[in-house]
Structure 1
Amino acid sequence: MSDTTPEQQAAWSLSQWLEYLEQIHHRPIDMGLDRVRAVAQRMDLLSPSGTVFIVAGTNGKGSTVRYLEVICQQAGFTTGTYTSPHLIDYRERVRVNGAELDDAAHAKAFFAVERARGEISLTYFEFGTLAALFLLQQQPIDVLVLEIGLGGRLDAVNIIDGDVAIVTSVGIDHIEFLGPDREGIGFEKAGVYRTGKPAICGDPQPPKRLVEQATAISANLLLCEQDFHVTESADHFTFHGPQGIWDELPYPSLPLVNASTALAALQSSGLAIHINSVRQGLRMATLPGRMEQIREEPTVLLDVGHNPHATTYIAAELVRRFPDRRIVAVCAMLRDKEHADTLKPLCPLVSEWYLGSIEGPRGYAAADLRKALPEGADVTLAVDVEHAFTQAIRAVSTNDVVLCFGSFLTVAAIHKIQP
């Protein structure tokens, strides 16, 4: 592909572009903004139109993006969103009013980035981010919601200045890039905040360095449980926000804490959002791979959770929703995760474990993952996620709950065999 002419590249399919992106940079993750900003300047992508939300955080980014997207759509705004990674299809990453764009549009965007970058080397994610900004620039967008890929300060998405910046939560993940503790990670994520702009933090225990960074740059920091919170009743909740109270709100299917964070961002944005749009958006917001139920008898749940913060939430949800049901887990994880700490919150709840291997440079063998579980755990090893899931389904009863988690790749593999 390196000897391909521009004329040939102009005719490439989306799959050809994705194959090309996998091999053009010397490493898959290369933190820093200079290269990607330089190309964005050439393409005039640094000042998108509309109200821009930037969403960072260890967990909760996807559901927060979805809340913002759907509520704004219900309020009559045209939305554009960029998220990552995708579950099944690359086109999931860019949506306009909730709809994916076609292969040809993505291929055209990749070609535009390729022509603009010249000799500047870009990673897969940087290339994709620029292509997404190019695609969304072609649309009459009122509200743009951009999800940070990793960290915040040095993530490619952070070349864009958000009108409202959000850190949903701060947990331990990607320690080789962000550091081994919440304070350092909090500082990295606070890099999305901007001077004089609303800076939302949805973590009820914000790291000191996050707060210090927001204060140092004079961002308008709004903290969960201090500047906004929810009160709950049997069949609805009330949001107490920086600009007032929204009451009689329906409970959403996605995490309530992320709904609160999204509502704080919306109230801080200056957008005209009627409470009826909020209510309807909360009812409609769903997201694949977030405690997603794909089957009954047995109940099968899929969750992309892959760190301790995520599995702590999953464990609480299992106790709340299935207090008297037997839990069986299907799990596969990547090599660079905190395996033991991630599995620990679920160990008291799970009766049987079915572990699958993931192939590739970041893959992790089921036999190695087994070492993260207690010695006496009931464990079955499988060659891959598909076999682990199939074995679990054959072994359980119709009243059991099968939880499948550990990675986006884990959920994607099960989606392919259990559509």
Structure 2
Amino acid sequence: MTASCGDKPSVGASLDDWLNYQLQLHTSEIDLGLERIGRVWKLLHPGAPDARIITVAGTNGKGSCVAFLEAILIAADFHVGAYTSPHLVRYNERIRIDGNEASDTDICSAFEQIENARGDTPLTYFEFGTLAAMLLFVQSGVDVIVLEVGLGGRLDAANLFDADGVIITSIGLDHTDWLGDDLEQIAVEKAGVMRAGRPAVIARPDMPASLHSVAGQVGAKALVRGHDYNLSVSGDEWHWQGNETAHHALPLPLLPGKHQLDNAAAVIALLDSMRESLPVNKAAIATGLKTVSLAGRFQQVGSNPLVFVDVAHNREAAAVLADAMRTHDEVKEWHAVASFYADKPIETIAEELRELISRWHIYVLKDARAASSEILQEKIRQGGVEGSIDAYGSFKQAVESARSAAGADGGLVIFGSFEVAGAALEYFSSKTL
């Protein structure tokens, strides 16, 4: 766990220069723990940030919950900083203030301050980003900071900062090399973001028992879906009901998929529990629901054939993707462009989608962690896929072949690791629907 001797970027260095430097600094891309980043943060900003902090942890749904929180709080006239990861196209997506991405100049300035403060303390790429986001939020004087946990919770860099409220979105099998393959233990890790006396929304009624146990041990104020709040749908409206308050006739969320109601309901539950310090009225909630945006969540980017982009890379997310695909009865035949890291549950992802996707178009990510073409094909077959699996040398070749094969009345879903979704968004950015 030592820093490399790579040359520090010079004054005026580009954002890419800084990011490449960070990738060389640490012997491991992931190094969970709070001691190193905590030491550097104290040098940058002694004391806690003067803002309310909301932390979002879980397997799936984190990005959506952050987007809902951001949209609703901005609509309520709060000054909001939001930190998410990974990014799809631009690193700047990770750090937003009032919905606007931080500039290259501001991020590089934050990186330089961190570099000057850290001395010989090694920091990972993610830790650099977390510190930069927090530094920019503090310097901008935001009222609320919304943090998305990168991996797990208990030892994640975001957990350096005590949350005034948290949301645990879901618990599933992902990052098993780091978190294990036992849902109860994974839940314990994610519950590590809870704090005594602070609200902790448990967004699904079927969470592992260990999550509830930790909440009790910590003394967090658990708010459980189905017990402390619930939702119902009536036509093109929905209703949120808590133990003491309610919001009726809300507009359906702009984000696609019925699962987004679960995420929106969890966000409202948390904001309701924090209403004394963060007063948010129904009008702000409605505005946030109608204006929220989040790239790469069954996002339509093309037509003739219909083309959708999604970041599904575990079984639970694949099941949600399958539900979204089933709403398009007009699609004659579905094709897929997909690729994954080797540690992802490719077999179970394929199992969730095998009845929908007629033909798979795969390629290998340009990353040391990528699953090879042989592994991709083997795991997809193990998921029960009997149709064609065609391998290509690049994303461009895969997507162009898939679009041609799908035809005007077909559908194409591009999904997998964030790099896949990012490549799709870049590819289709210059094309019209």
**TM-score (norm. length: structure 2):** 0.93
Q: Does 1:418 align with 2:425?
A: no
Identity %: 36
Q: What is the distance in 2 between the residues matched to 1:331 and 1:110?
A: 34
Secondary structure of the 1:138 match is: helix
Secondary structure of the 1:372 match is: helix
Indicate the RMSD between aligned Cα atoms, in angstroms: 1.5
- Other-structure match for 1:340: 347
- Other-structure match for 2:146: 145
Q: Does 1:298 align with 2:302?
A: no
- Other-structure match for 1:214: 215
Q: What is the distance in 1 between the residues matched to 2:243 and 2:92?
A: 35
Q: What is the distance in 1 between the residues matched to 2:105 and 2:247?
A: 42
Q: What is the distance in 2 between the residues matched to 1:16 and 1:358?
A: 22
Please say if residues 9 and 111 of structure 1, whose CA atoms lie closer than 8 Å, have aligned partners that are also in contact.
Answer: no
CA separation of 1:152 and 1:372: change in aligned 2, threshold 3 A:
same
Q: What is the distance in 1 between the residues matched to 2:47 and 2:303?
A: 47
2:269 to 230, 250, 264: 264
Please say if residues 331 and 409 of structure 2, whose CA atoms lie closer than 8 Å, have aligned partners that are also in contact.
Answer: no
CA separation of 1:102 and 1:375: change in aligned 2, threshold 3 A:
closer
- Other-structure match for 2:39: 38
Secondary structure of the 1:22 match is: helix
| Superposed displacement of residue 212, structure 1 | 0.4
CA separation of 1:11 and 1:213: change in aligned 2, threshold 3 A:
same
Secondary structure of the 1:337 match is: coil
Equivalent residue pairs, number = 417
Alignment of 1:235-246 (within 5 A): 235-246=236-247
Please say if residues 331 and 354 of structure 1, whose CA atoms lie closer than 8 Å, have aligned partners that are also in contact.
Answer: yes
Please say if residues 51 and 142 of structure 2, whose CA atoms lie closer than 8 Å, have aligned partners that are also in contact.
Answer: yes
Alignment of 1:78-117 (within 5 A): 78-117=79-118
- Other-structure match for 2:401: 391
1:352 to 359, 363, 366: 359
Q: Which amino acid aligns with 1:285?
A: V
- Other-structure match for 1:17: 18
CA separation of 1:163 and 1:323: change in aligned 2, threshold 3 A:
farther
| Superposed displacement of residue 222, structure 1 | 0.8
- Other-structure match for 1:67: 68
Bigger mean CA deviation after superposition, 372-381 or 166-175? 372-381
Please say if residues 151 and 178 of structure 1, whose CA atoms lie closer than 8 Å, have aligned partners that are also in contact.
Answer: yes
Please say if residues 46 and 160 of structure 1, whose CA atoms lie closer than 8 Å, have aligned partners that are also in contact.
Answer: no
- Other-structure match for 2:160: 159
Q: What is the distance in 1 between the residues matched to 2:45 and 2:345?
A: 40
Please say if residues 79 and 96 of structure 1, whose CA atoms lie closer than 8 Å, have aligned partners that are also in contact.
Answer: yes
| Superposed displacement of residue 124, structure 1 | 0.5
Alignment of 1:141-290 (within 5 A): 141-254=142-255, 255-270=260-275, 271-290=278-297
Q: What is the distance in 2 between the residues matched to 1:4 and 1:407?
A: 31
| Superposed displacement of residue 324, structure 1 | 5.6
| Superposed displacement of residue 10, structure 1 | 3.4
What are the superposed Cα offsets for residues 316-361 of structure 1, whole Å, 9 maximum, x if unpaired? 1211343764221111111111110122111111111111111221
| Superposed displacement of residue 377, structure 1 | 2.0
Q: What is the distance in 1 between the residues matched to 2:17 and 2:422?
A: 21
Secondary structure of the 1:371 match is: helix
Secondary structure of the 1:286 match is: coil
Please say if residues 6 and 21 of structure 2, whose CA atoms lie closer than 8 Å, have aligned partners that are also in contact.
Answer: no
- Other-structure match for 1:377: 387
Please say if residues 80 and 143 of structure 1, whose CA atoms lie closer than 8 Å, have aligned partners that are also in contact.
Answer: yes
Please say if residues 350 and 385 of structure 2, whose CA atoms lie closer than 8 Å, have aligned partners that are also in contact.
Answer: no
Q: What is the distance in 2 between the residues matched to 1:43 and 1:62?
A: 27
What are the superposed Cα offsets for residues 239-297 of structure 1, whole Å, 9 maximum, x if unpaired? 11254111111111322111111111111112211101111110111210011011122
What are the superposed Cα offsets for residues 169-227 of structure 1, whole Å, 9 maximum, x if unpaired? 11000011111021111000000000000011112211111110110011001111221
- Other-structure match for 1:320: 327
Q: Which amino acid aligns with 1:393?
A: R
Please say if residues 290 and 302 of structure 1, whose CA atoms lie closer than 8 Å, have aligned partners that are also in contact.
Answer: yes
Give 5+ residue unaligned stretches, structure 2: none
Q: What is the distance in 1 between the residues matched to 2:6 and 2:325?
A: 53
Q: Does 1:363 align with 2:370?
A: yes
Q: Which amino acid aligns with 1:180?
A: D
CA separation of 1:12 and 1:284: change in aligned 2, threshold 3 A:
same
Q: What is the distance in 2 between the residues matched to 1:115 and 1:288?
A: 34
| Superposed displacement of residue 3, structure 1 | 6.4
Q: What is the distance in 2 between the residues matched to 1:360 and 1:306?
A: 16
What are the superposed Cα offsets for residues 49-103 of structure 1, whole Å, 9 maximum, x if unpaired? 2221101110100010000000111111111101111111111111110001211
CA separation of 1:288 and 1:33: change in aligned 2, threshold 3 A:
same
What are the superposed Cα offsets for residues 288-320 of structure 1, whole Å, 9 maximum, x if unpaired? 001101112211110011000100111112113
| Superposed displacement of residue 37, structure 1 | 0.8
Please say if residues 366 and 383 of structure 1, whose CA atoms lie closer than 8 Å, have aligned partners that are also in contact.
Answer: no
| Superposed displacement of residue 4, structure 1 | 4.1
Q: Which amino acid aligns with 2:25?
A: I
Q: Which amino acid aligns with 2:296?
A: G
